[in-house]
Structure 1
């Protein structure tokens, strides 16, 4: 009795008269249970208990349950149940409600309600009067599709009344016919699109959108699946990854240049043993090259031209495909980038330079979903500092602007249209690499660590065309913060015309930041309802494997080519080809 009284006192703390009634009611309940009262009060308790237990029992009754909205609701849509409780006792009676699913037992915890009910495993409610029945509302957001048989058990808070018969309602958790598009969702973006269309089709005043809703309502389930696949703007999610990709391309091109700078000019009269020869990140001391080449210092003097100022040009081609997921459509992609710049040796330890870059990306979406094209222009500043002859730090800062052109084709039963939208954005890329070289005979082992940061913003824009299905896309921001732990092995091979340097490397890359995003969109014809387009979270850990071949020629000329692929990404398959050259003057 003590727990029940405390619970009811807590539940009805705002109503003192309710506390008194609860206390009296539970006291009566205990009296009714007494079988052997004390000798002094035996007769009194017997008479009082007999009178109370026979005169205060009341019958509870429940009216039919009202469910809003009616059946055929979709998952996570709120459902309200209204239930009215009454009693034949004029003074009223307190009661409790337990909610049960035929398949999942007690599910009271999944429901919420308003006063006068408190909750502690079941709902403890206020009193119902025979002349004034009490109506309560319970809310529920089902998290599944199917049929649920919900039973409301209305009982007494004690034994002072007769419980009502259980009342059952069957809730069908699936889309309603007609415009209930949610029943055929294929992924999260299509789900959000279907929910928005379901709402707009019921209230919109746009004649164009009404026409589309009418057409959708006449489609079969299989046809609606195709329609949602076409209408949902999965293509928009690729803009963020595209921004990261083009920025990474420019950082890689400049990084290749920094690797080639290891040759250092003889004009500065630096000691030969302190000069490094390298291509595409494959470095070795010039003194070692002289010892192993058989050509002596004459070759080295020819290879290292007398110049502080250098000009370079490097290019990159990245291509591959992304698989479709529950949030994004798949697509094939190709990125081409070129970078050219100048740099200057300020001393034997410090070189700095600047470069201009251009990149172009083309993405073709699966199932004729459309395409995304972008171009990017960037300006980069970079440098390298030697802590000693076999240890150095490189850094790069790149600033750029992107232009995006997105085309979505929408083709399904009764509709053959397309939307187009153009926008732009800006991005910042920062990169720093620390390397140390170890010599093992003719083999050079170079472990290194790299940190990359990219921050890209994309302006909001409005699509055109689409016969009422065009979207207004809000501004976006995407960030990437990645590290790489790596090792590279290279070896110099002397040739009559110069030096050939094959190499191989492996990188373990980890992404810390670039989390999944939510992009806000609205239909242009009726922007009253917004919905979110979710993106995939990135792969956190993966490996990059690469091989390269570099050649150094007399008079300060060099060239390289490399091939790399990525292993360990769940949905992306890609390969990269880098090539470039340099000359000094």
Structure 2
């Protein structure tokens, strides 16, 4: 039969025998159409993404062609080459869509239904989580979670936790954003801030010692001492002359040196308590901190113009993260070399260099509840190390008016603070256990210029001298410390999507330091200094330091 023919056909034929006789007959043939059946199809795609559906691949029949396609409710379907229907869902739709197509073999027709499941694309899943929060760091964490969950290559625990989070977002759970912010490990950048306060405490302890050297703790500079009794005044210079004369008359030429300079070698112990808090900002979590700093040092006067010393500092910092976010315990050791040089009686140059090692033990709490019965209450612990280097150089000039000593002072301080890479321990396999993270190396560089002044007044006492002090400095930061810290999920796959960023606030550019002190020098014993210092006009940071320094000279 001809192609695409079904029905009855006939033909005649004629025969002849050997005698030449002829006869004719008719052959009638019924052509039955082959079987034709259009079978239903299924397909899947992501929102807005075209999918080519080979609908004829499973249909029964020969020489099949598509002759009609209905309009789907949530997309567009058009016939393509080779028996394919190209379906494109509208960009924002997810769910089930369907359309009907009709085929023919040239003889008869049949119809079937195509059902298409439209799911979110990776980009849609990432955006779904990002849109639940306004927190910049939480958005990058949501982007990472969405990509890892879409690819399905992370651990089973991670897929469990991310599926619950995405399900909550799809159902407009108002707790999704706060859950994502809980997962975001902002508190893991606290180590840099805490260590910076420790460095400042160590630096100020050494500056205090060098200031004491300038006022003559190693060999009291009696030129600045004026003794007033009953209306008459004995100046320090007069006293020096009298002591020298008395020594010569008594046959003890060095008597003045014994009183004025107790020896070239001196030791000191400094203890400081530093209390403060960091306000929560868009980029960083808030925290309260308590720093205990203990410094033991010794120095040697090589000449009246030059002193060198060394000091060992121990610091312990207890940091409590706001909103029960966790804690950070820091232990540090630092070695400082320092020196003072006096080009003249009034002008001085001083400096120090320090290297230190810090050990950190941190706990991060993650707790949230979702409406889909997900209840997370996890604690992630981590231990890691870091180190610090700082250098400080300063110069000043002292004026003396009677018992009053005052003068300007300037310093330039450089700090390089680094925290090693680390990762949190996985606490188990309960809900939320997969949110353990690994954090890359953190680094902070600071270059601070300070300009200020100090003043002190010497009061003669029966047991020695008492000297109240006051200081005020303006500080300016040259470096831009708005750093970005990279992190990843420990149970996430090793893929490009497994990365997020934590942003930090820069160090304030301009602020002030104010200090009060009281120093007591005993005639036959150590010297004692008590100081209070505070920062003001520093954004989001409050810090108050109380320190005590004991000094002996030999």
| Separation of aligned partners in 2, 1:563 and 1:355 | 21
| Separation of aligned partners in 2, 1:452 and 1:178 | 44
Q: How far is 1:262 from its partner?
A: 2.5
Task: Report the counterpart of residue 519 of structure 2 in structure 1.
Answer: 550
Task: Report the counterpart of residue 573 of structure 1 in structure 2.
Answer: 542
2:222 alignment partner, one of 286, 293, 298? 286
Task: Report the counterpart of residue 160 of structure 2 in structure 1.
Answer: 211
Q: How far is 1:211 from its partner?
A: 1.1
Task: Report the counterpart of residue 439 of structure 2 in structure 1.
Answer: 473
| Separation of aligned partners in 2, 1:434 and 1:553 | 28
Q: How far is 1:180 from its partner?
A: 2.2
Contact 1:421/1:464 (<8 A) preserved? yes
Matches within 5 A, 1:49-60: none
Measured on the aligned residues, the alpha-carbon RMSD in Å equals: 2.9
Q: How far is 1:305 from its partner?
A: 5.1
Q: How far is 1:303 from its partner?
A: 6.7
Contact 2:352/2:392 (<8 A) preserved? yes
| Separation of aligned partners in 1, 2:189 and 2:126 | 29
Q: Secondary structure at the match of 2:225?
A: helix
| Separation of aligned partners in 1, 2:217 and 2:539 | 45
| Separation of aligned partners in 2, 1:264 and 1:546 | 20
Q: In the alignment, is residue 499 of structure 1 matched against residue 499 of structure 2? A: no
Contact 1:179/1:216 (<8 A) preserved? no
Q: In the alignment, is residue 541 of structure 1 matched against residue 510 of structure 2? A: yes
Q: Secondary structure at the match of 1:180?
A: helix
- CA shift digits 1:276-335 (9 cap, x unpaired): x5xxxxxxx521314558677499988745211111001222111111111111111111
Deviates further, 550-559 or 220-229: 220-229
1:450 alignment partner, one of 411, 425, 438? 411
List alignment gaps of at least 5 residues for structure 1. 1-67, 72-79, 82-174, 267-274, 278-284
Matches within 5 A, 1:118-197: 180-197=128-145
Q: Which is higher, the Rg of structure 1 or of structure 2?
A: 2
2:277 alignment partner, one of 307, 321, 337? 321
- CA shift digits 1:482-511 (9 cap, x unpaired): 011001121111111111111111110001
Q: Specify whether residues 494 and 264 from structure 1 end up closer, same or farther in structure 2 by C-alpha distance, changes over 3 A only.
A: closer
| Separation of aligned partners in 1, 2:540 and 2:46 | 40
TM-score, normalised with respect to structure 2 = 0.68
Task: Report the counterpart of residue 201 of structure 2 in structure 1.
Answer: 249
2:186 alignment partner, one of 215, 234, 237? 234
Contact 1:304/1:556 (<8 A) preserved? no
Q: In the alignment, is residue 306 of structure 1 matched against residue 269 of structure 2? A: no
Contact 1:314/1:340 (<8 A) preserved? yes
Q: In the alignment, is residue 522 of structure 1 matched against residue 452 of structure 2? A: no
Task: Report the counterpart of residue 127 of structure 1 in structure 2.
Answer: none
Task: Report the counterpart of residue 335 of structure 1 in structure 2.
Answer: 291
Matches within 5 A, 1:409-424: 409-413=365-369, 414-424=375-385
List alignment gaps of at least 5 residues for structure 2. 1-44, 51-122, 244-255, 370-374, 428-432
| Separation of aligned partners in 1, 2:222 and 2:273 | 31
| Separation of aligned partners in 1, 2:515 and 2:228 | 25
| Separation of aligned partners in 2, 1:534 and 1:178 | 19
- CA shift digits 1:520-579 (9 cap, x unpaired): 100000142112211111110001111111111113520111111111112111111121
Q: In the alignment, is residue 485 of structure 1 matched against residue 451 of structure 2? A: yes
Q: Paired residues, what number?
A: 405
More helix by proportion, 1 or 2? 1
